[in-house]
Structure 1
Amino acid sequence: MSNTATQLNELIEITRDGKRFYEHARDEVKSGELKTLFSNMSQAKSNVIIALEKRVAANQETPASGGTLTGKVRQVYADTRAALSSDEEATYIAQLEEAEDRILHAFEDAMETKDPDLRADLVAEMPKVRACHDLMRDLKKAQ
């Protein structure tokens, strides 16, 4: 597998972790407003994943289909904290904001690539990644 495909697949897996976490949190919270927000954030992650998968496939490589162990552990940790917390929704928001940090940092690290085509693809996705990150950061601060 090429270095470009490997980098893209790592981003796909990390972004998929976020998507799955939003879907899980959506099913756990009671607030209709948060359910809608988490659904929208999950869809935003899907859009980024699809764009990255197309780039991997265009290089005759196989896109990653799973997530990471770190993502699964983070979700279990959030569930445990939410169960012990008096404010389950604030716990999920805080943990989702941390997941957004992880995604943003992974994209920022990947943008240091010397491959101009990969960099162009990442630059195209960064506004979506940053917007999701900033939304969750602002939501966490408002809590």
Structure 2
Amino acid sequence: MSGAQDSDLVNELIAVCHDGEGFYRHAAKAVENSELRSLFWEMADSRRQIAEALSDKVVGRLGEGRDSAALSLRMRRLYAEVEARLARDSDVTYVSELERSEANTLDNFRQSIGSVQSTRLAQELARHLASIQVMHDRMHLIREEIEGRQRR
């Protein structure tokens, strides 16, 4: 990896993935639907795997840059707001909110791909972006399916 900027960006994404992992674990424990529970555990594990893969790219796990801390703080606030809303809502609300958080994570990865100096790192981030896109698409389809059943 080249440069402190790349390290800061990777540390930022690691923090976002850890936050997402925790959020999916929370959701898995909270939903009643066993299929959703299984999916959320799978997604938490996927976030953990991405964080571990990215951790291999940096010497230290904690970013020193202010931008890294700011993004992590924004994502934690987003997850906290969503958790507060979800404490009283249904499985479909979980799916909708998780789909929205996946969209934010996608944006974070896209921006980082365009900002890193290392071409190899950009390629690796793009691979992770693809798996996050798959997760987002799954959440979108599940939300549409649940909403379709509720309309019937």
TM range, smaller chain? 0.7 to 0.9
> Match for residue 30 of structure 1?
32
Equivalent-residue separation in structure 2 for 1:34 and 1:12 (angstroms): 24
User: What RMSD over aligned residues (CA atoms) do the two structures have, in Å?
Assistant: 2.2
Q: Given the alignment of the two structures, is residue 80 of structure 1 paired with residue 53 of structure 2, yes or no?
A: no
Query: How far, CA to CA, are the matches of 1:34 and 1:6 in structure 2?
Result: 34
Query: After the TM superposition, which parts of structure 1 deviate over 6 Å for at least 4 consecutive aligned residues?
Result: none
* 1:101 partner amino acid: A
Distance 1:64 1:46 in 2: 16
Is the 1:9–1:63 Cα contact (8 Å) retained in structure 2?
Answer: yes
Q: State whether residues 14 and 103 of structure 1, in contact with CA within 8 Å, keep that contact through their aligned partners in structure 2.
A: yes
In structure 1, list runs of 5 or more residues that go unmatched: none
TM (norm. structure 2) is 0.80
1:91 has 2:75 as partner: no
Q: Between Structure 1 and Structure 2, how many residues are aligned?
A: 137
1:74 shift after superposition: 2.7
| TM-score when normalising by structure 1 | 0.84
Which ranges in structure 2 are unaligned for 5 or more consecutive residues? 64-68, 148-152
1:137 matched to which residue of 2? 140
Aligned pairs for 1:28-107 within 5 A = 28-56=30-58, 61-64=59-62, 68-85=72-89, 88-107=90-109
Give the superposition deviation at 1:17.
1.5
User: CA 1:141–1:47 in 2, change beyond 3 Å: closer, same or farther?
Assistant: same
Native 8 Å contact 1:78 1:91 kept in 2: no
Give % identity: 25
Judging changes above 3 Å, is the alpha-carbon distance between structure 1 residues 83 and 7 closer, same or farther for their aligned structure 2 residues?
Answer: closer
Deviations 1:52-99 (A, max 9, x none): 00111xxxx2013999333333333223323444xx111111111111
Render the CA deviation track for 1:12-45: whole Å, top value 9, x for unaligned. 1111111111000111111111110100010111
CA distance in 1, matches of 2:19, 2:141: 21
